[in-house]
């Protein structure tokens, strides 16, 4: 493949949307692996800002309407195409965006892989132009991570003072009137979570050491994400829950919607990984989505056969990674066409999380559903070979 002047390998003929733009690291000048949403979609965001004549809440880069358009996609009067980031009910996005313009914070809830983190990043990018003010919630997240810490050299030299303080992401967002993000809120220990109560109800962050406080500037708000599956790990206290509007992100409603999400994201990821475009990937994408949905729902698409569900979640996010891996296999070790054998091993890996119980579920599904299905014989053979550890095509 010829290298383009910028030293990048041109892999697709069609014009690239703004996400294909090369982002380079500030320190090394090397292309970054994954640009932030506000950088990857900078062109779309500035086109939206230029076309947007609706009122904007204080310190918002765009009006709520333009933020929703950025997430859901659309065409601007000047013909600029805004690619959809989130595929799902419009109302969900409208409620989420509107919440950010009120005095309540936004909690995105849902099963794994329903785009909670993805939506949170894009909302922050569209509203504040910065999606990086983020606290990653873990069992070890401390109060300092949410509030502020100290630069000990400065603290020793000058004593407790504003200069010796190291503001955390939430504090910076309050200072600048921006959107802060808290990922996996329910993994944070309950007493640390409660730090957020004052911030969200009083819109202020006390600094007892200095007998001072930081008051949130207009425009400040917070988006938290939490996983249904983690429920019970650290439940949200009801005091904290009342400070949030909860928006539940659903699993894709129909197979077609899920196929659309997977194709879109696989195409974008393929571009950033510089994989060659796979012309007829849609059949395999449909197959992966069908398998995942049937195992998730416990029944085949035609409603005739009950199947057992495996222990793991077979999310859309997982389908995306199975197909992306398959494309990489096809590109590097095949003829570039995505074939059943390229996805079979990946599907099995996603389904069989618990080697004992899930293997049986998978075997049973292969024998009772896949084996009988028209046009699925190649996939059946590849999956059976992957399951038995035999190389594809080897005699039984």
Q: Which does 317 bind (CB under 5 to 8 A by kind): Mg ion, ligand ATP, none?
A: ligand ATP
Q: Are 258 and 137 contacting, i.e. CB atoms less than 8 angstroms apart?
A: no
Residue 227 touches ligand ATP, criterion: CB under 6 A: yes
Q: What is the nearest approach in angstroms of Mg ion to the Cβ of residue 119?
A: 10
Q: Are 324 and 266 contacting, i.e. CB atoms less than 8 angstroms apart?
A: yes
How many residues form the binding site for Mg ion (CB under 5 A)? 2
CA distance 69 to 77: 13
Which residue in 99, 316, 324, 348 binds ligand ATP (CB under 6 A)? 316
| Residue whose CB is less far from Mg ion, 137 or 270 | 137
Q: Which are the contacts of 202, defined by CB distance < 8 A and separation ≥ 6? A: none
| Residue whose CB is less far from Mg ion, 187 or 243 | 187
Q: Which does 56 bind (CB under 5 to 8 A by kind): Mg ion, ligand ATP, none?
A: none
Q: Are 168 and 148 contacting, i.e. CB atoms less than 8 angstroms apart?
A: yes
Site string for Mg ion, 110-129 (x = CB under 5 A): ------xx------------
| Residue whose CB is less far from ligand ATP, 112 or 149 | 112
| Residue whose CB is less far from ligand ATP, 111 or 197 | 111
Site for ligand ATP in 132-191 (CB under 6 A): none
Residue 195 touches Mg ion, criterion: CB under 5 A: no
Comparing CA positions, the residue from 68, 80, 100, 213 lying closest to residue 148 is: 213
Site for ligand ATP in 275-314 (CB under 6 A): none
Residue 313 touches Mg ion, criterion: CB under 5 A: no
| Residue whose CB is less far from ligand ATP, 109 or 216 | 109
Stretch that binds Mg ion, among 24-32, 53-61, 108-116, 160-168 (CB under 5 A): 108-116
| Residue whose CB is less far from ligand ATP, 92 or 382 | 92
Q: What is the nearest approach in angstroms of ligand ATP to the Cβ of residue 88?
A: 4
Q: What is the nearest approach in angstroms of ligand ATP to the Cβ of residue 176?
A: 25
Q: Which does 346 bind (CB under 5 to 8 A by kind): ligand ATP, Mg ion, none?
A: none
Query: To 5 degrees, how large is the angle CA 304–CA 307–CA 309?
Result: 145
Q: Give the footprint of ligand ATP on this chain (CB under 6 A).
A: 86-88, 110, 112-118, 225, 227, 252, 261, 265, 316-317, 320
């Amino acid at each position: 493949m010829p290298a383009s002047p910028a030293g990048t390998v041109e892999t697709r003929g069609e014009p690239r949307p703004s996400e294909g733009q090369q982002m380079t690291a500030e320190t090394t000048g090397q292309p970054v692996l994954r640009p932030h949403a506000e950088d990857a979609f900078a062109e779309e965001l500035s086109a939206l800002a230029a076309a947007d004549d609706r009122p904007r809440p204080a310190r918002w880069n765009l009006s709520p309407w333009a933020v929703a358009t950025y997430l859901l996609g659309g065409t601007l009067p000047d013909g600029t195409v805004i690619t959809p980031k989130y595929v799902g009910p419009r109302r969900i996005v409208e409620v989420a965006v509107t919440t950010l313009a009120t005095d309540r914070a936004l909690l995105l809830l849902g099963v794994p892989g329903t785009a909670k983190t993805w939506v949170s990043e894009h909302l922050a990018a569209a509203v504040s132009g910065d999606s990086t003010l983020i606290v990653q919630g873990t069992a070890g997240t401390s109060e300092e991570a949410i509030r502020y810490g100290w630069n000990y050299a400065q603290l020793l030299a000058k004593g407790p003072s504003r200069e010796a303080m190291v503001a955390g992401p939430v504090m910076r967002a309050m200072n600048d009137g921006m959107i802060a993000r808290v990922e996996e809120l329910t993994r944070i220990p309950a007493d640390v979570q409660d730090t957020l109560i004052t911030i969200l109800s009083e819109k202020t962050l006390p600094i007892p050491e200095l007998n001072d406080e930081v008051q949130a500037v207009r425009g400040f708000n917070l988006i938290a994400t939490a996983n249904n599956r983690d429920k019970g790990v650290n439940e949200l206290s009801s005091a904290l829950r009342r400070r949030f509007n909860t928006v539940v992100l659903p699993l894709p409603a129909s197979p077609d919607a899920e196929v659309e999400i997977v194709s879109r994201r696989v195409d974008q990821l393929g571009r950033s990984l510089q994989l060659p475009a796979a012309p007829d990937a849609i059949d395999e994408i449909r197959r992966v989505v069908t398998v995942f949905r049937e195992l998730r729902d416990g029944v085949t698409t035609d409603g005739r056969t009950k199947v057992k569900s495996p222990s793991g979640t077979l999310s859309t996010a997982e389908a995306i990674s199975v197909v992306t891996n398959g494309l990489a296999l096809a590109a590097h070790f095949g003829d570039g066409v995505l074939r059943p054998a390229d996805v079979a091993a990946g599907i099995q890996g996603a389904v069989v999380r618990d080697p004992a119980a899930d293997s049986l579920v998978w075997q049973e599904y292969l024998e009772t559903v896949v084996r009988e299905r028209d046009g699925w014989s190649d996939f059946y053979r590849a999956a059976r070979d992957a399951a038995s550890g035999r190389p594809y095509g080897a005699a039984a």
